[in-house]
Amino acid sequence: MFQLASWQKLTAPEGPIHLYIEGDGLAWLSRSTPSKNPTPKEAVALELAANDPAPNVVYLARPCQYTDFDLPHNNCHRDYWTGKRFSQEVLESYHSALNQLEKDYKRGFHLIGYSGGANIAGLLAARREDILSLRTVAGNVDNDFFTRFHNVSDMPYSLNMADYAESLSALPQYHFIAENDAFVPPPVFESYAGKAGSSACIRAEIVKGTEHIKGWATRWRDLLKRTPACLPGKN
């Protein structure tokens, strides 16, 4: 289990929580050299959370981000921000965090995942009954396709939300795709959508003027108005 860095604004116990999950951060220095510390240089999900006017907003970093590596028992091995970053051990830490929040806030979660955090969010949604909706931002929603696209090593110890695409297809979700993104390009979402099949609940939008990292925070309040919903009369 990992201690996850978190920032929270919780003012309405009777309401649901907007829960943000950070991207992979500084996982690699090059294609073959992992970072010694995965804390992001630009924390996009944190910026999005800071621009969310909802009364209940929680931000969760990824394992070992914003961590004091000198502390004992931090479990921070580089595997957990490289090949095992979507592993069952990692997911268990997020389930534990949500279970703790759920003790006082029982109206469910609207999940928002940025980049690799989208995969974490999707995996949580596939296994929990308290997820109300899913939004992804420049999201890696099919990690197997992503690794093939970039011609990098497979991740056999990591889980892939796209493997649960069909069961997720009944969950309201909105996927925001960057207009100019060489890291998570539109075909990543297209692969996920193909596995989900025809769904009234999956919507996507290419957001003009955005890149993988740039352009999201200033647009986020407007983008939040795109509410995930299942459209009536569509199969």
Q: For the chain, what is the domain count?
A: 1
Please write the tens of the pLDDT for every residue from 132-184: 999 999 999 999 999 999 999 899 999 999 999 999 999 999 999 999 999 99
Say if CB 91 and CB 100 are below 8 A apart: no
C-alpha distances in angstroms, 148 versus 26, 115, 184, 190, 206?
Answer: 20, 16, 12, 14, 22
Q: Is residue 230 part of a domain?
A: no
Q: Left (φ > 0), alpha (ψ -120 to 50) or beta: where does 151 sit?
A: left
Say if CB 156 and CB 136 are below 8 A apart: no
pTM of the model: 0.96
Rounded to an integer, the average pLDDT of 23-37 is: 93
CATH number at residue 15: 3.40.50.1820
Residues 65, 217, 81, CA angle at the centre, nearest 5°? 20
Q: Is residue 179 part of a domain?
A: yes
Q: Is residue 17 part of a domain?
A: yes
Mean pLDDT of the chain: 96
Please write the tens of the pLDDT for every residue from 99-122: 999 999 999 999 999 999 999 999
Please write the tens of the pLDDT for every residue from 33-86: 999 999 999 999 999 999 999 999 999 999 999 998 877 767 899 999 999 999
Amino acid at 193: A
Q: Is residue 212 part of a domain?
A: yes
User: For residue 93, what are the domain limits?
Assistant: 6-223
Q: Is residue 105 part of a domain?
A: yes
Rounded to an integer, the average pLDDT of 182-189 is: 98
Q: Is residue 124 part of a domain?
A: yes
Q: Is residue 207 part of a domain?
A: yes
